[in-house]
Amino acid sequence: MSYRAKLTLSFLLVILLTISVTLVIQRVIIEPTWTQFLTSFSLERRGPELASIVSQNIQRARRWVELRPLLEQLSTLYRVKVFLTDANGDLQVQSRYPEDIQPIQAEIDKALQGETSSTQITLSGGKNFDVVTSPVFVNNRLVGTIQIVQERTNLGRVFGFPLTSSLLIGGGIAAILSLFLVYLVSRQVTLPIRKMKQMAMKFSQGDFSARVDLKSKDELGELARVLNEMAGKLEETERIRRELLANISHELRTPLTTVQGYIEALIDGVLPEEKREESLKLVLEEVRKTERLVNSILELSRLEAGAIKMDIRAFDLKGLVLKIKDKLSLSFERKNLKLEVSAPGEEALAFGDPDRIGEVVEILLDNSLRYTEPGGHVKISLVREGDQVLFKVEDTGIGISPEELPRIFNRFYRSTNIPKGERLGAGLGLAIAKEIIEAHGSQIMAESVPGKGSSFSFYLKAGNR
């Protein structure tokens, strides 16, 4: 069953339930109460009125029996039983309808005291009657009483029929209006849901370009916004995946092509004997290059998936930096670059994984080494700032353009602006450094001025002795 059908049935069910409860309340509470009110009110007014009519006719009549035609008229007109008594309470005349009802002497005695009284009686047949007894005065002198007995009918049902009809008619109109409203409301609800369904079906087919155009600020609008954001991320992930495959294919094809060429040359015997050893060294270098690339890709993937656990502990960051400086000093000297470390104090304690932080330091220094021209300067600074230690690498290299700066941490991104004689890397180093630093709960920051140099920095939580 569709959502629209469920919504329509729900509206109709609420309307029918409301009408049913209203009808029950009408039958159980309103009709009996209304019946009692109408009966009592009509009789209490009718008693004194009939007493006044009888009083006027008594003056003209010579005997009580002469009033019988009047009582029969009143009985027929109002469908009541009428009794007339004299001032002593003795019955003088009564109407014929109905025959089985007798006067109630107790009520007559009350009327002889000059007051109108009312009561109810139930006959053996189960019929209920209302009784009103009023005194009859002639020239302010009590001459008798008149007692009126009327069967209690469900007057409330008589008046309730129009009410029931109105409820049923109103319910029918409400049902028709509700169907119209359900159509409008359900269309506003189901149309976006249908679009989201189509969007999800495109996702299942690998098409992440679909979007839901819904500007409302309700829950559906919020869901559409989340789905659009998810679609954007999936589309970006798919783009990165395709670029990754393309980059990996490109990076692997070059060394494999080289290896293949040398091996075929060795097999075919076209290489001179004196060049075979050199060729094998070149093949070995290409294999190692390929191995490093594969290891970098695997490491980056594991870092992004959170599969590599950081061994966080307190360590001497200054001592680590000095060891790496000694390790890379020969490479900097060969290129005529000055490598300087500025770290006041004997040590700079920080919390982190020493091996991974050392990897980041080497990546950043290798980056400065590659993009700084001979005669340049590279400086490492360690500064204690409150409960943190700032690590910063600055160089006087060629710099990074503002257009490239936001993309340098993307995997396989390589700047085409590179000093002459330097080879392009795989474009994975800075991406790995970024993941390692973020795994430490920090961020790596980059600043650059084209032609003047670049700087990379990050914070680590400071340690204490």
pLDDT tens digits along 107-142: 889 889 988 888 888 877 778 888 889 898 888 889
Q: Which two tokens stand for residue 68?
A: 């019988």
What is the model's pLDDT at position 154?
47
Q: Give the Cα separation of 155 and 34 in Å (integer).
A: 7
pLDDT at 98 over 70: no
Residue 165 pLDDT > 80, yes or no? no
Instruction: Give CA–CA dist 77/215, Å, rounded.
Output: 73
Beta bridge partners of residue 448, listed in sequence order: 454
Whether the ω angle into residue 406 lies within 30 degrees of 0, i.e. cis, is no
- Please state the rounded mean pLDDT for residues 161-188: 72
Cβ neighbours of residue 441 closer than 8 Å, sequence gap 6 or more: 461
Task: Kindly report the length of the chain.
Answer: 465
- In this predicted structure, the answer to whether residue 76 has a pLDDT above a threshold of 60 is yes
Neighbour-count burial of 91, counting CB atoms closer than 10 A to its CB (0-12 exposed, 13-18 middle, 19+ buried):
middle
Interatomic CA distance for residues 22 and 164, integer angstroms: 9
Query: Who has greater pLDDT, 326 or 211?
Result: 326
- Parallel, antiparallel or unpaired: strands 377-385 and 338-342: parallel
Q: How far is CA 275 from CA 30, 90, 361, in A?
A: 115, 155, 38
pLDDT of residue 7: 67
* Residue 98 · residue 75 · CB < 8 Å: no
Alpha-carbon distance of 70 to 406, in angstroms, equals 112
Given a cut of 60, is residue 391 above it in pLDDT? yes
Higher pLDDT, 39 or 49: 49
The 8-class DSSP code of residue 47 comes to: H
Predicted local distance difference test score (pLDDT) of residue 454: 92
**Distance (Å, whole) CA 212 – CA 210:** 7
* Res. 280: pLDDT tops 60: yes
Sequence-distant (6+) residues with CB within 8 A of 113 are 135
**Higher pLDDT residue, 161 or 178?**
178
User: Above 50 in pLDDT, residue 339?
Assistant: yes
**pLDDT tens sequence across 88-97:** 999 889 988 7
Percent of the chain with pLDDT over 90: 15
What is the rounded average pLDDT for all residues in the chain? 79
The most confident of the ranges 7-21, 278-292, 309-323, 412-426 is 309-323
Which one has a higher pLDDT value, 365 or 246?
365
Domain ranges of the chain: 3-157, 219-305, 313-461
216-222 mean pLDDT: 75
In angstroms, how far apart are the furthest CA atoms of the chain?
Answer: 166
Report the distance separating Cα 328 and Cα 254, nearest Å: 27
Classify domain 3-157 at the CATH topology level.
Beta-Lactamase (3.30.450)
User: Which range, 262-276, 345-359, 414-428, has the best average confidence (pLDDT)?
Assistant: 345-359
Backbone φ and ψ for 424, nearest 5 degrees, come out as -75, 140
Which of 25-39, 188-202, 248-262, 401-415 is predicted with the least confidence, judged by mean pLDDT? 25-39
Helix, strand, coil % in the chain, rounded to nearest 5: 55, 20, 25
pLDDT at residue 392 in the model: 94
304 vs 150, more confident: 150
Inter-residue contact 57 to 182 (CB < 8 Å):
no
pLDDT given for residue 99 in this prediction: 66
- Determine the Cα–Cα distance for residues 84 and 120; give it in Å rounded to an integer: 19
Beta strands in 361-464 (DSSP E): 377-385, 388-395, 445-449, 453-461
Separation of alpha carbons 82 and 97, rounded Å: 8
Predicted confidence band of residue 158 (pLDDT cuts 50, 70, 90): very low
Question: How far is CA 234 from its chain centroid?
Answer: 22
**Degrees, nearest 5: CA angle 418-420-421:** 110
Please give the pLDDT value at position 194.
Answer: 78
More confident residue, 453 or 416: 453
Q: Which residue has the tokens 């700079």?
A: 348
Q: Which fold has domain 219-305?
A: Helix Hairpins (1.10.287)
Higher pLDDT residue, 244 or 429? 429
Which CATH number, 2.40.50.140, 3.30.565.10, 3.30.70.20, 3.40.50.970, labels domain 313-461?
3.30.565.10
- Amino acid 195 reads K
127: closest CA among 154, 151, 93? 151
